[in-house]
Structure formats: C-alpha cells, structure tokens
C-alpha cells in the first residue's frame, strides 16, 4: 500500500476561486511527468515501497481523471487518477504539503436489460445497440463453449442479458457483470446465470459455462514455494520475508498464460530489471482482481500496457530476471490490492456446482429465469430494448 508522504506544498487558504475539471490521461505520460508538470517534488514517488512504485506506473492512457486547481495560480490542489478499476491515486495538497494515497474509485452501478435479434454478428449488434464492447465480449465469452457463433447463429436469433454496468464521471466505467443471459439458436434457448460465490457462469442446471480463472498459469505444474504471507526464510536475503505468491519451477522460455480475460496494466521492470521481481506483467481482471507474473525472461508480443488479453493467452516466458535463485515463475493474485493465496481461490473454471453451492444456485435460477424468458419473448416480437432497471452506488463526480 502507498504510504502517505509529504513534500513541500505552498498551501493557501480558500481565498481564491477553485476550478474542477476532468481530463483524459495523455499517451506516454508518466506519473513522474505529471508531478514535474505540476511543480511537485518527485521525491513523492521515490519514497514509495515496491508495490506502490508499480501502482503509479499503471495509469492507462485515455483514463478520465479529476483535477481541482486554484484558479488564480493554477496550482494543483487535488487530483484523482485511477490506477485500476477499483483504486485511484489521490494526490492532494494540505497545510503539511502534498500527500499521496490510494483510495477507492467511486462509481454508480446501474442494472440494465438488453434484448434483441441478431442481424449481422453478435459482437457488432451488441456494440451497435449498447456502445459497450466489454458487454459484447462478455456475452460471447459466456456462451463460447456451447455456441459456435459462426455456424450455429442465424439472422433473427434472439439474444439478451440482464447486466450491471458501472458509471463514473458520466461514462461507462470498467468491466460489466452479466447476471443472466440467453441466446436462442436452432429453436433451442440456452441460459447462462452468474453465481456470485465463485464469479463463474453456469447453465440452468449448474453445469459450468465459463470460469473466472484458470487454475494455473502454466501447462505443467511444479510448486517450489507456497504462499506464505507471514514470512519465509528468503533464499537470497536470508531474512524472514513474506512470500506473497506461489513459485512454479519451470525451464527457461516456458510459455506463461494469463489466468483470465483482462487488461495489461503493467509490463516492465520496477526500478531496474536486475532488482526485485525483474520483468513483470500485471493484469487487471474484473471485480477488482489482478494477477501478477514475475521474473520473466521476456514478454510475448503485443503484451504492453493497455493491451486486452483473453483467458489462456500467452503473455510471456519463464525466466530468472530480478532477484531469484533460478528459473521459475512467481505468480500472485490480488483483490483490491490485497494478496491472496492463488492455490486457495475457488474462482476457477470447474465442471459444475455441487452440494450446497448447487442448491443455492438453483434457488437463484428459480428467481431469475422468469425475467429472462420474458425478455426472450419480447426479443422475438422484434422490439429492440435496452432499459434501466435500477441504479445504486455513489455517483459523486470523483
Ligand atoms: Zn515467489
């Protein structure tokens, strides 16, 4: 986590009028550049710990951020700059100087329904109606194992979903959660229901459609060091240090897959490639999840900041960059900045639900299926609909 740090900030009281604006983060602008531009001592960054150092380098170009300036002097009083879907840098000036913290991103959540008939292709139609490419991608991914979109889908086949969308600063923000969806092909209606417990998708009987994560990021698994947040004897430093991920032994150049669909937030080295985690990839997934892959020999092509990746895509190759005793992959899973044991998470692709999970899920299906059938029948009448069901959350400007 980012420690609050201080640097000189000539704070003047509320004598002057203030200006609030939102802008898009420019291409190739670093947080360091931003500090310099605002005449803020970049010592703020150099005092951060390793994690935060990576965090401030995960700002994606095009991200809408918020600024608050003193009108007369143009001095920056407060900036909120997202570093992930759920977290943002809060840089502000108070009487002690400039301070830096990581705080949650604020957004509203709206629930909407969509029902239509396919005209050209699923992706094109859904993007055309909703303007939301993440939603189109999500619906396709959910049915991908069951429906061959090129062969099975005919013109006028009904499709629809009930989904949650985030809204921040008046625009769609981040990922989409499809709560339930249907597609009808060859006269057969197929359903998908989201099970919040493991963030996976299942058909109406509880058979798995799509899992949030693959269990492992490598094909052949040899665990050489487990997750030990309380600390282990570090093989090089000797001292007791927390081990915040799992190490997989593998030979040089072994392909590494991303465990879920997402966006590359960081692909590079921390300060230098000889230190710490060496060459590292950080991928952001939905619902505040992040996976990290360290000590890479090299990155796969097109794995650069901002790139979209799909589940199972090769993102890099096993190496021994950074501080390590040999070739291996250091793999971490985090949620909203907190590490978790990658081998203990249950949000992995599985065969189907069982026991208590199955009965809870079937109760959920019972509640949701009627709505879905209603929208499926509506779609058949040829009416395109996209409508708001309800909204909640904090719709503050920041
Ligand atoms: Zn490790």
Which CATH code is given to the segment(s) 18-104? 3.10.450.350
Ligand 1 centre to CA of 245 (Å) is 6
Ligand 1 centre to CA of 165 (Å) is 35
- In this predicted structure, what is the pLDDT of residue 394? 40
Q: Considering just the CA atoms, what is the radius of gyration of the chain in Å?
A: 23
Q: Which listed CATH number (3.20.20.70, 3.30.365.10, 3.10.450.350, 2.60.120.560) goes with 108-211+349-393?
A: 3.10.450.350
Ligand 1 centre to CA of 217 (Å) is 14
Per residue in 314-369, pLDDT (tens digit) is 999 999 999 998 999 999 999 988 999 999 988 887 788 999 999 999 999 999 99
- Cα angle 108, 114, 118 (rounded to 5 degrees) comes to 145
- In this predicted structure, what is the pLDDT of residue 146? 84
Q: At the topology level of CATH, where does 223-340 sit? A: Glucose Permease (Domain IIA) (2.70.70)
- In this predicted structure, what is the pLDDT of residue 14? 55
Residue-range domain boundaries for the chain? 18-104, 108-211+349-393, 223-340
- In this predicted structure, what is the pLDDT of residue 398? 44
Ligand 1 centre to CA of 349 (Å) is 24
Give the β-pairing of 158-168 and 108-117: antiparallel
Dihedrals phi, psi of 241, to nearest 5 degrees: -135, 145
Q: Which residues of the chain have pLDDT under 70?
A: 1-16, 382-398
Going by C-alpha positions, the residue among 11, 97, 100 that lies closest to residue 56 is 100
Ligand 1 centre to CA of 38 (Å) is 37
Ligand 1 centre to CA of 247 (Å) is 5
The backbone region for 45, taken as left when phi is positive above 0, alpha when psi lies in -120 to 50, beta otherwise, is alpha
Per residue in 219-228, pLDDT (tens digit) is 988 999 999 9
- In this predicted structure, what is the pLDDT of residue 378? 81
Helical H segments across the chain, by residue range: 31-37, 43-46, 50-55, 122-130, 133-143, 355-380
Ligand 1 centre to CA of 243 (Å) is 6
Ligand 1 centre to CA of 60 (Å) is 27
Q: Same fold for the domain at 108-211+349-393 and the one at 223-340?
A: no
Ligand 1 centre to CA of 226 (Å) is 8
What is residue 363's three-state secondary structure? helix
Ligand 1 centre to CA of 170 (Å) is 41
Ligand 1 centre to CA of 267 (Å) is 17
């Amino acid at each position: 986590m980012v420690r609050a740090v201080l640097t000189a900030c000539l704070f003047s009281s509320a004598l002057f009028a203030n200006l609030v604006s939102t802008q898009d983060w420019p291409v190739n602008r670093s947080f360091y550049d931003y500090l310099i531009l605002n005449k803020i001592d970049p010592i703020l960054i150099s005092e951060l710990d390793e994690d935060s150092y990576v965090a401030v380098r995960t700002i994606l170009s095009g991200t809408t951020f918020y600024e608050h300036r003193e009108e007369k002097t143009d001095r920056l009083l407060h900036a909120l700059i997202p570093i992930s879907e759920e977290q943002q840098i809060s840089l502000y000036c108070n009487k002690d100087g400039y301070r830096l913290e990581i705080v949650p991103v604020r957004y509203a959540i709206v629930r909407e329904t969509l029902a239509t008939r396919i005209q050209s292709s699923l992706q094109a139609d859904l993007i055309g109606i909703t303007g939301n490419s993440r939603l189109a991608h999500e619906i396709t991914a959910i049915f991908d194992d069951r429906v061959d979109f090129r062969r099975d889908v005919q013109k006028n086949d009904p499709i629809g979903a009930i989904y949650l969308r985030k809204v921040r600063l008046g625009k769609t923000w981040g990922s989409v959660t499809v709560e339930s969806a249907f597609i009808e092909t060859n006269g057969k209606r197929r359903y998908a229901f989201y099970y919040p417990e493991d963030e996976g998708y299942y058909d109406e009987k509880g058979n798995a459609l799509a899992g949030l994560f693959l269990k492992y990021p490598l094909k052949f698994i040899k665990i050489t060091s487990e997750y030990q947040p309380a600390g282990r004897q570090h093989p090089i430093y000797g001292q007791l240090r927390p081990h915040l991920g799992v190490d997989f032994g593998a030979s040089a150049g072994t392909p590494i897959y991303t465990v879920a669909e997402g966006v590359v937030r960081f692909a590079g080295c921390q300060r230098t490639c000889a230190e710490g985690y060496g060459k590292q990839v950080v991928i952001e997934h939905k619902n505040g999840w992040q996976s990290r892959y360290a000590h890479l020999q090299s990155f796969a092509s097109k794995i650069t900041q901002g790139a979209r990746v799909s589940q199972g895509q090769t993102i890099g190759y096993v190496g021994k960059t950074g501080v390590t005793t040999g070739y291996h992959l250091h793999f971490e899973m985090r949620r909203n900045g907190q590490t978790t044991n990658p081998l203990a998470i249950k949000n992995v692709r599985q065969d189907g639900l069982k026991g208590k999970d199955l009965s809870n899920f079937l109760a959920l299906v019972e509640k949701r299926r009627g709505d879905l059938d209603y929208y499926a029948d509506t779609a058949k009448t040829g009416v395109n609909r996209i409508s708001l069901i309800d909204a909640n959350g904090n719709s503050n400007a920041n």
